[in-house]
Amino acid sequence: MTDLLDKFGPHMERYEAMMEVGTDALGLVNEKILSPTRGIINGKETILAGTNNYMGVTLDKTCIEAGKKALDDFGTGTTGSRIANGTYGLHRELESEIASFLDKKHAIVFSTGYVANLGMIAGVAGPKDTIYLDADSHSSIYDGCTLSGARLVRFRHNDANDLAKRLARSKGEEGGRLVVLEGIYSMFGDRAPMDDFIAVKKEFGFQLMMDEAHSFGVLGPNGRGLAEEAGVYDHADFVVGTFSKALGAIGGFGAGDHPFFDAIRYHSRPYMFTASPSPASVATAIEAVKLLKREPERRERLRENSTRLFDGFKALGLDLACDVVSPVIAVKCKDEPSTIAMWNALLDAGVYVNIALPPGTPINTCLLRCSVSAAHSFDDIDQIIDLFGRVVAGGHGLDQQG
Give me the CATH number covering residue 21. Answer: 3.90.1150.10
Nearest to 122 by CA among 231, 289, 238: 238
Q: Say yes or no to pLDDT of 119 above 60.
A: yes
**284 shares its domain with 352:** no
Asked if residue 399 has pLDDT above 50, the reply is: no
Does residue 275 lie in a domain region?
yes
pLDDT tens by residue, 140-172: 999 999 999 999 999 999 999 999 999 999 877
pLDDT of 400 reads 41
Q: Which residues, listed in sequence order, are joined to residue 332 by a DSSP beta bridge?
A: 367
* pLDDT on residue 360: 87
Q: Which amino acid is at 200?
A: V
272 in the same domain as 318? no
pLDDT tens column, 8-17: 999 999 999 9
Rounded Cα distance, 328 and 358, in Å: 18
pLDDT band at 385 (very low <50, low <70, confident <90, very high): very high
Which domain covers residue 154, as residue numbers?
61-294
Q: How far apart are alpha carbons 264 and 320 in whole angstroms?
A: 40
Residue 94's Cβ-count burial label (10 Å; 0-12, 13-18, 19+) is: buried
Query: For position 180, which CATH number holds?
Result: 3.40.640.10
Q: What is the pLDDT of residue 172?
A: 74
Task: Identify the pLDDT of residue 285.
Answer: 98
Q: Of 246, 262, 294, at which residue does a domain stop?
A: 294
pLDDT (0 to 100) of residue 401:
38
40 within some domain: no
| Percent of the chain's residues with pLDDT above 70 | 98
User: Quick one: average pLDDT of 354-363?
Assistant: 92
Q: What is the pLDDT of residues 316-346, one digit of tens each?
A: 999 999 999 999 999 999 999 999 999 999 9
Residue predicted with more confidence, 131 or 395: 131
Query: How many beta carbons lie within 10 A of that of residue 297, not counting itself?
Result: 9
The arithmetic mean of pLDDT across residues 212-227, rounded, is 97
pLDDT of 394 reads: 58
**Could you report the per-residue pLDDT of 35-76, keeping only the tens digit for each?**
999 999 999 999 999 999 999 999 999 999 999 999 999 999
Sheet order of strands, 328-333 included: 328-333, 366-371, 354-356
Structural domains counted in the chain = 2
Instruction: Please check whether residue 46 lies inside any domain of the structure.
Output: no
**HEC-encoded secondary structure of 289-350:** HHHHHHCCHHHHHHHHHHHHHHHHHHHHCCCECCCCCCCEEEEEECCHHHHHHHHHHHHHHC
Which of 294, 324, 359 corresponds to the end of one domain?
Answer: 294
User: Is the model's pLDDT at 307 over the cut of 80?
Assistant: yes
Domain presence at residue 319: yes
d(CA 310, CA 297): 20
Using a cut of 0.85, tell me whether the model's pTM lies above it.
Answer: yes
Q: Is the pLDDT of residue 303 over 60?
A: yes
> Among 214, 181, 212, 213, which Cα is nearest to 198's?
181
Dihedral, 248, 138, 208, 268 alpha carbons, nearest 10:
-80
